């Protein structure tokens, strides 16, 4: 089942505007995407569980909290790497998986070329965060999510910058029931896809602009 949430924050809106602007240079695009990754991570990580621990301050003993979840970050290669820094830097204990999927430009169908996933203590309780700047047709996201579903994962948080209505509809169609739950965070739902499968108004090819290719 797909649960959907818009990330509403003044900085998110401002950063997105910078990313959309065709006059934004590669260096500025990369630094803006990096800053945005921290903001998105703070929203996505809000479902982490904590446990009580005992600590000592410089003055006395007290109680605190520590993260009590296995955490896995999965960037969809290659554009997803642009969102990795925020997720990993604010929680360095997270494990990093990778899934390599590219879109066939002729058919717009996803093609998988790499997948590496860690061994987990408990698949039912682990927190999985899949990151990909764009959900266009939804093909890459669906292919990656199916890889996790086939391995017994029951719940995933999918984080993007932009989502096309067609992509969101496709996600809902492919994961209609509660046996596999996907929480989607995005900053904006754009107007539509063009005939080449690009989001309009969008921001172009996030991977190309991030890596300068």
Q: Does some domain include residue 127?
A: yes
Residue-averaged pLDDT of the chain: 93
CATH of the domain at 107: 3.40.50.2020
Residues of the chain with pLDDT under 70: 108
Domain that holds residue 176: 2-47+71-203
**Burial class for 22, CB neighbours closer than 10 Å (0-12, 13-18, 19+):** exposed
**Burial class for 210, CB neighbours closer than 10 Å (0-12, 13-18, 19+):** buried
pLDDT of residue 196: 87
Q: Does some domain include residue 64?
A: no
SS3 30: helix
| Model confidence, pTM | 0.92
Q: Does some domain include residue 97?
A: yes
pLDDT of residue 103: 73
pLDDT in tens, 145-195: 999 999 999 999 999 999 999 999 999 999 998 889 999 999 999 999 999
pLDDT of residue 206: 87
Q: Does some domain include residue 89?
A: yes
Number of domains in the chain: 1
State residue 35 phi and psi, 5-degree precision: -65, -40
């Amino acid at each position: 089942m797909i649960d959907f949430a818009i990330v509403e924050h003044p900085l998110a809106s401002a950063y997105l505007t910078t990313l959309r602007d065709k006059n934004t240079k590669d260096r500025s695009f990369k630094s803006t995407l990096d800053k945005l990754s921290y903001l998105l991570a703070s929203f996505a990580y809000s479902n982490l569980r904590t446990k009580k621990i005992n600590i000592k301050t410089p003055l006395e003993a007290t109680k605190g909290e520590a993260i009590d979840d296995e955490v896995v970050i999965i960037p969809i290669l290659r554009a997803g790497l642009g969102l990795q820094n925020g997720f990993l830097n604010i929680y360095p204990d997270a494990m990093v998986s990778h899934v390599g999927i590219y879109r066939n430009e002729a058919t717009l169908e996803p093609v998988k070329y790499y997948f590496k996933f860690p061994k987990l203590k408990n698949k039912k309780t682990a927190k999985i965060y899949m990151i990909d700047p764009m959900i266009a047709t939804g093909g890459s996201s669906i292919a990656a999510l199916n890889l996790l579903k086939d391995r017994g994962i029951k719940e995933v948080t999918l984080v993007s910058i932009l989502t096309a209505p067609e992509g969101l509809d496709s996600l809902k169609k492919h994961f209609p029931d509660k046996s596999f739950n996907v929480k989607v965070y995005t900053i904006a739902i754009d107007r539509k896809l063009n005939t080449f499968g690009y989001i309009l108004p969008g921001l172009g090819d996030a991977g190309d602009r991030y890596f300068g290719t």
